[in-house]
Structure 1
């Protein structure tokens, strides 16, 4: 088929498509002006990134392909959990809408989990936070594919976000199959002004070490970073002097009795689960009667351990007859197929094995979480966000 070059962008197209493509340059003039305005806003917010490098990215980025579940997986999950409450005394708190992005064969299986979790968090932020929708990915209103997320991360590095991470990857990640970790997630979101926070969980001896460099472990080459005390909504849950967390189960409002009645294990991975419960129940949710599955305004959590990352979309607690409270993290794993998740939830069969993770499954010595506080940072606060610090909680 005969091809010709576009006189405007010089890209080559089949002759039958060339006229339509060339006309699109005139149709998109308003969009280009909007893109240029957004590019200037991004470039001027901090750092010395070239406007010319941002504007084409905003204009050319493509929406990530994913299997869209009608009504959303969270809605299907909520239905299944409500059916469960007819047979047990459980209480569940969920995040809002989240699209599931799975790793695809011949595309990103084996290395793309971090990017897929960023996409899941992004889908929630775009759906629930107007201020985030206006700034994320140049205000595109959609979740870009991995290649463009990689380019946005490079721009974050160019603007001075997470210098140790930039050094580790030599400021180049576009087009690669490099695994990423929690600090890359935080750096990308922070570059848009989002207040992404990192929490480390691990043994006390791991506190001085930078855990999120993919593949890094104690005893090998690791990168140090400072541990600071972050002032924010989660600050009240951290016992700063000893770097541990005091459980604060809001069982009074949930009809589970006083928090002093909690008789589960108080150490090890239970500390992480306590933190997640406190995170989702931060607003003092009131649950009573038949309404024991609620949706909070909390964003999902980026959940990292050595070799893999997942997305926490909620937490469930069951009040057992022996007085022990059994917790289950509710997780979306990019290694799972979206169609399989949808099918299991619609049929109410087998979804527990895909989504529920009890405390006994948390066998890794170290974990990291990334959560995103509301609002958009600017000025001095935005400059401070360039350094990725974390809260450390001893397991």
Structure 2
């Protein structure tokens, strides 16, 4: 067996275990113990039991130990239960993504910087979220979609208890890209998004494969989450309706009033193009907040972040700012975006110093020049039964730019 020295502690470990060992240096003691525990279980060979259709797995053969786990894998499972065995196996073998550790809550720092800005503006932000950056030596150029799934997952695990209990087997952490690829393949095996599954020939694990909002929705829906998709396109959208239309209930051709402080500004909906997308994002985040006063310059929304896809790249929208223009009083929107291509350390540094963060996070409507955009968001609650079956088929609401 080949051995290699750990670059962190210089301890000699088997070469095939070097990556796992090194990653343990970057997480907490409790997390490291949990990962080691799961890894040991994953390596255990199957135990045949002809008299009992269930297999009970215990570490160190100690059922009464605090580390005891009853995996209860059904060895008589039929074709319909095969995915259950795959789910249980993946829960034990998945790996946690190693994050760059920041000292303070990223969104709390962003909120503070927004509150310090001068001028009349109002901002709506989502709650907690971690930033997952692409790594040059690992996923640069193709991994942005997976990183956005990680960002969205970090929010759901932290902010929604029902999501935390079902996501990734209730592990309570965000898996790495390789594990997410296996979760997507399992979602396809369960029947979620058959056309998309066919496009990838039912396989993504270990491949440098671009994905988008459809794959994000299929993965999250496989856990019962109500992931929705909405399209914004320059093509005609006659007769299109969907779950997102309620956020545009005032219509594109009507004016929208937005309260900023003690004043109310009119956002005239007759503007064409990507203002439609910006108004939708504003209405989405503003339709549900944590009960904070509308007079505050920055308020928190209970809505999930938005997976934001366009040709060539994807990012995560964590909020939106509305600011009246001096000339005509119309609202100018700035999307607040976390980009996987940005360095987490650079984001932390700019926000902590309140300097340069605007160039990394703010994106005005004028920067939206693509002919088509797609968003994915997650409604509260867990689907089951007939509703879960319906979620296997992908549909979107289409709005014309």
Task: Name the TM-score, length of structure 1 as normaliser.
Answer: 0.80
Higher RCO structure, 1 or 2 (CA under 8 Å, sep 6+): 1
CA–CA distance in structure 1, aligned partners of residues 116 and 161 of structure 2: 32
Q: 1:266, CA displacement in angstroms?
A: 2.0
Q: Which residue of 1 aligns with 2:129?
A: 98
Q: Residue 107 of structure 2 aligns to a residue in which SS? A: helix
Q: Is the 8 A contact 1:248 1:274 kept in 2?
A: no
Map residues 303-322 of structure 1 onto 2, 5 A cutoff. Answer: 303-322=308-327
Q: 1:72, CA displacement in angstroms?
A: 1.6
CA–CA distance in structure 1, aligned partners of residues 261 and 383 of structure 2: 34
Q: Is 1:356 equivalent to 2:387 in the alignment?
A: no
Q: 1:358, CA displacement in angstroms?
A: 0.3
Q: Is the 8 A contact 1:49 1:158 kept in 2?
A: no
Q: Which residue of 2 aligns with 1:173?
A: 204
Summarize deviations over 1:5-34 as a string: whole Å, max 9, x none. xxxxxxx989xx9xx969993389677745
Q: Which residue of 2 aligns with 1:26?
A: 60
Q: Is the 8 A contact 1:245 1:275 kept in 2?
A: no
Q: Is the 8 A contact 2:122 2:260 kept in 1?
A: no
Map residues 232-251 of structure 1 onto 2, 5 A cutoff. Answer: 234-238=244-248, 245=252, 249-251=256-258
Q: Residue 50 of structure 1 aligns to a residue in which SS? A: helix
Q: Which residue of 2 aligns with 1:380?
A: 386
Aligned CA-pair RMSD: 3.3
Q: Which residue of 2 aligns with 1:390?
A: 396
Q: Which residue of 1 aligns with 2:104?
A: 71
Q: Is the 8 A contact 1:187 1:386 kept in 2?
A: yes
Q: Which residue of 1 aligns with 2:276?
A: 271
Q: Is the 8 A contact 1:247 1:274 kept in 2?
A: no
Q: 1:184, CA displacement in angstroms?
A: 0.1
CA–CA distance in structure 2, aligned partners of residues 379 and 177 of structure 1: 34
Map residues 12-23 of structure 1 onto 2, 5 A cutoff. Answer: none
Summarize deviations over 1:197-220 as a string: whole Å, max 9, x none. 000000225x59xxxxxxxxxxxx
Q: 1:123, CA displacement in angstroms?
A: 0.3
CA–CA distance in structure 1, aligned partners of residues 123 and 288 of structure 2: 14
Q: Residue 116 of structure 2 aligns to a residue in which SS? A: helix
CA–CA distance in structure 2, aligned partners of residues 185 and 386 of structure 1: 13
Q: Which residue of 1 aligns with 2:48?
A: none
CA–CA distance in structure 2, aligned partners of residues 250 and 168 of structure 1: 43
CA 1:34 to 1:332, structure 2 compared with 1: closer, same or farther past 3 Å? Answer: farther
Q: Residue 397 of structure 2 aligns to a residue in which SS? A: strand
Alignment coverage as a number of residue pairs: 352
Q: Is 1:61 equivalent to 2:94 in the alignment?
A: yes
What are the ranges of 5 or more consecutive residues in structure 2 without an aligned counterpart? 4-15, 22-38, 45-57
Q: Which residue of 2 aligns with 1:83?
A: 116
CA–CA distance in structure 2, aligned partners of residues 165 and 75 of structure 1: 37
What are the ranges of 5 or more consecutive residues in structure 1 without an aligned counterpart? 4-11, 209-226
Map residues 201-212 of structure 1 onto 2, 5 A cutoff. Answer: 201-205=232-236
Summarize deviations over 1:244-284 as a string: whole Å, max 9, x none. 746674524754416xx224762100000000000000037
CA–CA distance in structure 2, aligned partners of residues 303 and 372 of structure 1: 13
Q: Is 1:140 equivalent to 2:171 in the alignment?
A: yes
Q: Is the 8 A contact 1:254 1:286 kept in 2?
A: no
Map residues 115-154 of structure 1 onto 2, 5 A cutoff. Answer: 115-154=146-185
Q: 1:230, CA displacement in angstroms?
A: 3.3
Task: Name the TM-score, length of structure 2 as normaliser.
Answer: 0.79
Q: Is the 8 A contact 2:231 2:396 kept in 1?
A: yes
Q: Is 1:366 equivalent to 2:372 in the alignment?
A: yes
CA–CA distance in structure 1, aligned partners of residues 252 and 381 of structure 2: 25
